[in-house]
Amino acid sequence: MLRTHTCGELNESNVGQEAALCGWVWKSRDLGGLFFVDLRDRYGFTQLVVDPAVGKGLHKAASKLRGEYVVRVAGEVRLRPEEQRRDDAPTGAVELRVRELEVLARAQTPPFNLAEEELEVHEELRLEYRYLDLRRPHMQRNLAVRHRAVKAIRDYLSARGFLEVETPILMRSTPEGARDYLVPSRIHRGKFYALPQSPQIYKQLLMAAGVDRYFQIARCFRDEDQRADRQPEFTQLDVEMSFAGEEDIFEITEGVFAASFRDGVGVELATPWPRLSWREAMSRYGRDKPDARFGLLLDDATDIFAETSAEIFRKIVDAGGSVFALRVPGGLSRKQLDELEAAAKAEGAGGLASLKVGPGGALSGVLAKFFDDGAAAALLAKTGAEEGDVVVACGGPFETAAAAMGSVRLRLAEMSNVKKEEGFHFLWVTDFPLFERDASTGEPVPSHHPFTSPRLEDVDKLEAAPFDVMSRAYDVVVNGVELGSGSVRIHDAALQRRVFQAFGYTDDEIETRFGFFLRALEYGTPPHAGIAPGLDRWIMVMCGEESIREVIAFPKTLRASSPMDGSPAPVAREQLDELGLSLKEKEPEGK
């Protein structure tokens, strides 16, 4: 055998035994004759000692070792001297006295130091040499956490009667919120497959097929602009249950997360999780993915501002808008107030009003003259503001005003270094609007996807007042990060057709795009519900990382490219000809 143990395995119980190890040279040092090498593999590291007394040729060979050489060594396990023992590693009490040394592979000098965990290296360089970057213990740990978490997911769901079923990667293009990656067909000239944005339709068809409980560790693809928590290809846990509603999904999801955190990183999650409606989340946090680790909660002060003589706010209220206020303990400098106002304006707000609280609760500031004693007292009571504090407020359409104040809240927490509670603060956000307005046309588009069930009491509003229709959708959120969305699905063909029509699809478009799906709903499809947490974000949070690229073995950059293999890349003219494709030069901007 090349090796008898791994580099993270030997301990005091092995003292006196012969052992053979294989791994990468991590660090080496010559201490006046004795030559020390830290040998590393994914399991850990072991200190090697090469003594010239064992053989001059052996010592000479050891002195030629360089970082990342792959070597095999054999020798006797012995205790380290007391003063050299380390408590931070399982192998810290022992070392291997080398009698055999063989270089299995030499290595060029790496473009960055793999032994320095905190070394600042440009991400582009790390991704170009990802196979080296992944050797670092930190990255090995992330991959191991991911493995343990996924195994826990499979074990948990399998024990509860779920079947893991694979769904197609080549499918029909259907609207699911982002651009599809299209795959041209050579056999069917002029026609295209799409890579799945999610297995949404297929998992609903599995419910129609009587599978009852399905899950999949699913690969998904979306051609959208990238950011820290997005990738063009990503992985999600896809779950669907028949004869199930919200409570069933909540219970299963909380259980599977608890199992994965316990097995992945040894953390016990408390369940059940708190629940907030979408409107509550927006009104209190200004976000539909609230960070509940700190206070600074918003207050809906619409009724108070409606009673003031400030015309700008009265117009907002008369138009059906909202006004939110936030107490800032200890006040603000002019510079800080400007920063908060910029945060509000970035969300579409017209500005940010401020009122300073003086002795006896007296208000000062541009707006103070519009507040009589009753309105001032009501504002202080609502926000809890005291002498020396500042109250900031923003008004506008409900979502705009709430989002603006949500950004103000987060920026204020940053500038004030607000202490956040430790741990993982999970919660559910429920009862989302079924529709949102398209930014360019103002027409209704799905808030989640077009297969989400409206609340039954709102069905009659689909045609007359679509933006008043609430859905049976829900999101799982932790520490301000949305980990996944789900919903109770539409299982009635007639209702599904009405929802498609409310989204603006014509009867011909519905038949062309979804005819096969509607037919399935006509053959006895049970009520069903599901959820699809993003596995990459899930592991990112679990590992305490800021980017999902840190928990994916071979990710793409923010420009959706791979510096390592050069993808995307041109293809040969012959390949395009086989597919019946030709390339068109991009027109210069401005034409």
Give the span between the Cα atoms of 116 and 390, in whole angstroms: 46
217, 199 contact by CB (below 8 A): no
Crossing angle for the helix pair 137-158 and 246-265, to the nearest 10 degrees: 140
User: How many structural domains comprise the chain?
Assistant: 2
pLDDT at position 502, please?
92
Strands 426-430 and 435-437: unpaired
Residue 489 falls inside a structural domain: no
pLDDT at site 207: 98
Burial class (CB in 10 A: 0-12, 13-18, 19+), 577: exposed
255 — phi, psi (to 5°)? -65, -40
Query: What's phi and psi for 379, nearest 5 deg?
Result: -65, -40
Predicted structure pTM score: 0.92
Regions of the chain with pLDDT less than 50: none
d(CA 502, CA 496): 10
* 176 vs 199: CA distance, rounded Å: 10
List the beta bridge partners of residue 44. Answer: 41
Boundary (domain end) residue, out of 415, 449, 466? 415
The three-state secondary structure class of 309 is coil
At which of 105, 129, 160 does a domain end?
105
For residue 76, the enclosing domain spans 12-105
Contact 144, 266 (CB under 8 A): no
Segment 447-479, tens digit of pLDDT: 888 999 999 999 999 999 999 999 999 999 999
Contact 228, 548 (CB under 8 A): yes
* Euclidean distance between CA atoms 575 and 183, whole angstroms: 13
Instruction: Return the pLDDT at 431.
Output: 96
How do 94-105 and 192-194 pair as beta strands?
unpaired
Of 41, 73, 105, the residue that ends a domain is 105
Residue 141 lies inside a defined structural domain of this protein? no
Residue 474 burial (CB count, 10 A): 26
List beta partners, residue 48. Answer: 37, 96
Q: How far is CA 275 from the centre of its chain?
A: 20
Q: Burial-class residue 546 by CB neighbours within 10 Å (0-12, 13-18, 19+).
A: exposed
Any domain includes 286: no
Which CATH number is 27's domain given?
Answer: 2.40.50.140
Output the pLDDT for position 173.
Answer: 86
Burial class (CB in 10 A: 0-12, 13-18, 19+), 442: exposed
Grouping H, G, I as helix, E, B as strand and the rest as coil, residue 514 is helix
275 is a domain residue: no
Neighbours of 564 (CB within 10 A): 15
Per DSSP, the three-state class of 436 is strand
- Is 402 domain-assigned? yes
Per-residue model confidence (pLDDT) at position 30 = 86
Per-residue pLDDT, 53: 84
Residue pair 107/66 in contact by the 8 Å Cβ criterion: yes
Measured distance CA(394)–CA(507) in Å, rounded: 43
Would you state the pLDDT for residue 176?
Answer: 61
Quote the pLDDT of residue 438.
Answer: 83
State the CATH number of the domain containing residue 300: 3.30.1360.30
